[in-house]
Amino acid sequence: MDYTLNIRGRLMSLSEPCVMGILNVTPDSFYAASRAETEDVIVRRTHEIVEQGAAIIDVGACSTRPGSEPATEQEETERLRLAMKAIRQTMPEAIVSIDTFRPLVARIAVEELGADIINDVNPSTEMFRTVARLGVPYIVMSRAANMRTMLTELARDVQQLRDYGQKDIIIDPGFGFGKTLEENYEVMRDLRQLELLELPVLVGVSRKRMVWQLLDIQPEEALNGTTVLNMMALERGAKILRVHDVREAVECVQMFDKLKVVNR
């Protein structure tokens, strides 16, 4: 299906899958190499993400890794101010997503800092109302442990968002959230069923526990497993890959697109 997103009046096509590059402005993200806490490092990472072919930069200022102590709302906002200033000065036309579960942070990010998309790992009615008023694309994540429950809950969330007037919705099956190792792989196996919702799907498995725990390795060694799962996700209909390693994910998308051409 040929999905499009309205990015501040510009239409972004998702007829072909694209890559979202992660930029963490936190001191405690689970993958240490992804952390960018100073302006110089943020600028360098921004260039890297864009030059390696990502369509979207996803900025996180509050770690959601298991066992972490969330940053305060003020800390998260201050980190985002630093990051967005550096990004907009460096790549003013870049499409920027903000990874936050706080409605106030979402509002500040869009209205004051120029963010384009809100990526939410903990959906709430208050956030639904906020993004609908802001008029930006919204990524709604599921913590459900199986596809049957996920479809039911996401259908309810999507209807509520539509009732508030939200236009562009992206769904995220929430790999690594509320799921055991086995349940993560069951959701990946059944991922194609999310097409029933007729919305673009974002998959984020980059260097997550479902890779390194299964293979008995560390997150730093999990790129190969991540790439395997990314290809599986593309084959099951994913439209956006959220990753730490942009170049490798872009190459994965290119090879997937080539296979589609060959199979026609």
- Report whether 51 contacts 29 (CB < 8 A): no
* Amino acid letter for position 240: I
260 is catalytic: no
Residue 35 pLDDT > 80: no
208 is catalytic: yes
Q: What is the pLDDT of residues 220-264, one digit of tens each?
A: 999 999 999 999 999 999 999 999 999 999 999 999 999 977 666
Q: Which residues pair with 22 in a beta bridge?
A: 58
Residue 39's pLDDT is 87
Q: What is the value of pTM for the model shown? A: 0.93
Residue 63's pLDDT is 77
Out of 242, 247, 258, 260, the active site residue is 242
Strands 10-13 and 18-24: unpaired
Residue 2's pLDDT is 80
Out of 45, 208, 209, 239, the active site residue is 208
* Amino acid letter for position 166: Q
Over the Cα atoms of the chain, what is R_g?
17
Q: Coil, strand, or helix at residue 151?
A: helix
pLDDT band at 31 (very low <50, low <70, confident <90, very high): very low
Strands 4-7 and 18-24: unpaired
Alpha carbons 148 and 224: distance in angstroms, whole number:
29
Q: What is the pLDDT of residues 122-155, one digit of tens each?
A: 999 999 999 999 999 999 999 999 999 999 999 9
Alpha carbons 20 and 5: distance in angstroms, whole number:
14
